[in-house]
């Protein structure tokens, strides 16, 4: 970790590919990922953990094949460390929902996710012609809430409830980011000085 904090890191996105399966499978067995994302919608699904290869491949098939999604691999100096993307893409309403996971624990807390989302939102608002991004976040995920707010997302409303591994309910917040607000916040955005981002073309 110390070395990563002091070295310059190049962050770029590329489309997720079938050959990325082994890494995505590994992340789907990480309790950190399962507890902070919506892969597991309720305690009844936890009885199926750990995922078998068939179930993991079904999830990966959704990431790769669902036409209402775009899924990108996050690469740091050429290493695939996580995924970021869009789901529920709607070109009529010009909206999409953002999702992200940093699968490799050594790359969490370094600003990599924040940089990856900035690359994606530049692409969304300039290349795809969308007008608004939304995302869902669990109420206890304060680290994610801070990052999303730094990017310009604002809390909109409670969009539902989510179970944790102990069967407790947590609120799910919907956050919104209109294009105009991103244009303003992009100019104010501070990323760690050792991160170098490459635009998504």
Half-sphere exposure of 30 (CA within 13 A, CB side): 15
Residue that has been written with the tokens 């993991």 in this structure: 56
Per residue in 110-136, pLDDT tens? Answer: 999 999 999 999 999 999 999 999 998
Half-sphere exposure of 151 (CA within 13 A, CB side): 29
Alpha carbons 180 and 186: distance in angstroms, whole number: 10
The per-residue pLDDT for 166 is 56
The per-residue pLDDT for 40 is 44
Cα Rg of the chain, angstroms? 16
Whether the CB-CB separation of 137 and 158 falls below 8 Å is answered with no
Alpha carbons 19 and 41: distance in angstroms, whole number: 27
The per-residue pLDDT for 95 is 96
Global pTM reads 0.84
Alpha carbons 167 and 39: distance in angstroms, whole number: 15
The per-residue pLDDT for 157 is 62
Alpha carbons 86 and 192: distance in angstroms, whole number: 24
The per-residue pLDDT for 186 is 92
CATH superfamily for 2-135+191-197 is Gcn5-related N-acetyltransferase (GNAT) (3.40.630.30)
Q: Which has the higher per-residue pLDDT, 117 or 45?
A: 117
Alpha carbons 84 and 90: distance in angstroms, whole number: 18
Whether the CB-CB separation of 118 and 189 falls below 8 Å is answered with yes
């Amino acid at each position: 970790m110390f070395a990563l904090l002091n070295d310059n890191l190049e962050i770029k996105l590329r489309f997720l590919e079938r050959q990325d399966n082994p890494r995505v499978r590994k992340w789907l067995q990480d309790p950190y990922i399962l507890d902070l994302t919506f892969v597991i919608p309720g305690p009844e699904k936890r009885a199926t953990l750990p995922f078998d290869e068939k179930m993991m491949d079904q999830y990966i098939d959704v990431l790769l094949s669902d036409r209402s999604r775009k899924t990108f691999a996050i690469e740091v100096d050429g290493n695939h460390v996580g995924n970021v993307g869009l789901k529920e893409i709607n070109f009529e309403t010009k909206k999409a929902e953002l999702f992200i996971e940093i699968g490799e624990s050594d790359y969490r807390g370094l600003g990599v996710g924040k940089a990856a989302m900035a690359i994606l939102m530049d692409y969304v608002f300039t290349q795809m012609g969308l007008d608004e991004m939304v995302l869902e976040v669990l109420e206890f995920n304060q680290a994610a809430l801070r990052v999303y707010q730094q990017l310009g997302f604002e809390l909109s409303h409670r969009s539902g409830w989510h179970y944790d591994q102990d069967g407790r309910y947590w609120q799910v917040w919907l956050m919104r980011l209109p294009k105009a607000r991103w244009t303003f916040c992009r100019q104010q955005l501070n990323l760690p000085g050792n991160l170098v981002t490459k635009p998504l073309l």
